[in-house]
Amino acid sequence: EYSCEYGSLKFYALCGFGGVLSCGLTHTAVVPLDLVKCRMQVDPQKYKSIFNGFSVTIKEDGVRGLAKGWAPTFIGYSMQGLCKFGFYEVFKILYGNMLGEENAYLWRTSLYLAASASAEFFADIALAPMEAAKVRIQTQPGYANTLRQAVPKMFGEEGIWAFYKGVAPLWMRQIPYTMMKFACFERTVEALYKYVVPKPRSECTKAEQLVVTFVAGYIAGVFCAIVSHPADSVVSVLNKEKGSSASQVLVRLGFRGVWKGLFARIIMIGTLTALQWFIYDSVKVYFRLPRPPPPEMPESLKKKLGLTE
């Protein structure tokens, strides 16, 4: 019934493709909300709230102004999704094999955290250049309106460093976010099938399984937004200003400053994470990829713990 073997090259390639669709499409769809969030972080005097931010932006740039930065968003997050989901599957299987069946079950939360952190490390290197261009386009009026204008201008001013100076703050923001996103999702799916869904996953239809995926994704997304928001504020300000370091920006923003725009981000990231997992799982269903059920205690471990008759 499966189109390929679990852990095969084709499996990883199609998981990567699922990541491209899940991250590229969802992040591009919420560009208007992301634009307003970035402007609230960078210029809170002018953009006082979500609704105020939308009305000021439409008044100054028209409705088309809300789509500013869509191209670097689509390219950057497609590349990030490819690495994030593709490498997560690679590292999850790799680390699981290294631990062995029993330890992989006992230490499964640590396994999800380690695999997702490893995947995100590479995903951020792929994302950084486009993220830098996107923030310039969205937060610096008159700098550039399109990706074609922004890239040569950035390269002319600061060289290749312009595209990678935000990679360390990106790691600060994205690695905790992704660790939470994957570990929280995996454990929530496990809990939903155990305590909420009235029948085992094997008896659920594909549609019912995808609903569980969406709900678990939303719950994970809310936690993700809270964990990664302070670093997100720093990234927004850092890409706008030349010559500032992450620690200087952090000190200047202060405790209250780094939480600006959190409500907008919870709505955005909650919806985004739920849709990402839904699209990713739908791709797996469509291509008939192996989708192992939530982990169960191995028989050998049950015997050791005296849980079998």
97-153 residue pLDDT tens? 999 999 999 999 999 999 999 999 999 999 999 999 988 888 887 888 889 999 999
Banded pLDDT at 82 (limits 50, 70, 90): very high
Phi/psi region, residue 181 (left: phi>0; alpha: psi -120 to 50; beta: rest), is: alpha
Helices 246-257, 167-191: axis angle to 10 degrees equals 50
The span from the CA of 163 to the CA of 154, in Å, is 8
Percent of the chain at pLDDT exceeding 90 = 53
The span from the CA of 51 to the CA of 249, in Å, is 26
- Residue 263 makes CB contacts below 8 A (sequence gap 6+) with 50
Helices 31-42, 206-240: axis angle to 10 degrees equals 30
- Residue 4 makes CB contacts below 8 A (sequence gap 6+) with 10, 11, 14, 289, 290
Rounded to an integer, the average pLDDT of 152-169 is: 89
The owner of tokens 């998981």 is 15
Rounded to an integer, the average pLDDT of 206-228 is: 91
Instruction: Flag whether pLDDT at 70 surpasses 80.
Output: yes
Task: Indicate the residue type of 261.
Answer: G
Quote the pLDDT of residue 165.
86
Quote the pLDDT of residue 99.
95
Query: Helix or strand or coil: residue 121?
Result: helix
16-28 residue pLDDT tens? 999 999 999 999 9
Angle, vertex CA 166, rays to CA 162 and CA 168, nearest 5:
135
Quote the pLDDT of residue 162.
86
Quote the pLDDT of residue 109.
96
188-199 residue pLDDT tens? 999 999 999 999
Instruction: Flag whether pLDDT at 228 surpasses 90.
Output: no
In a 10 Å sphere around its CB, with 0-12 CB exposed, 13-18 middle and 19+ buried, how is residue 231 labelled?
A: buried
Quote the pLDDT of residue 138.
83
233-270 residue pLDDT tens? 887 777 666 667 777 787 888 878 888 888 878 887 88
The span from the CA of 63 to the CA of 55, in Å, is 10
Percent of the chain at pLDDT exceeding 70 = 98
Query: Helix or strand or coil: residue 142?
Result: coil
pTM: 0.82
> What class, spelled out in words, does domain 9-305 have in CATH?
mainly alpha
Average pLDDT value over all residues in the chain:
90
Helices 31-42, 108-139: axis angle to 10 degrees equals 80
Quote the pLDDT of residue 243.
66
- Residue 152 makes CB contacts below 8 A (sequence gap 6+) with none
Rounded to an integer, the average pLDDT of 67-86 is: 94
Quote the pLDDT of residue 37.
81
User: How distant, in Å, are the alpha carbons of 6, 87, 108, 182, 292 from that of 93?
Assistant: 9, 10, 12, 14, 12
User: How distant, in Å, are the alpha carbons of 17, 63, 85, 116 from that of 14?
Assistant: 5, 36, 10, 18
Tokens of 282: 């739908």
Query: Helix or strand or coil: residue 139?
Result: helix
**Torsion sign across C-alpha atoms 185, 210, 262, 251:** positive
**Torsion sign across C-alpha atoms 77, 269, 178, 242:** positive
Tokens of 40: 């609230």
Looking at per-residue pLDDT, the higher value among 94 and 39 belongs to: 94
Quote the pLDDT of residue 10.
96
**Torsion sign across C-alpha atoms 77, 82, 83, 84:** positive
Which candidate, 130, 133, 131, places its Cα nearest to that of 145? 133
User: What is the C-alpha radius of gyration for the chain, rounded to an integer number of angstroms?
Assistant: 21
Domains of the chain, residue spans: 9-305
Quote the pLDDT of residue 305.
84
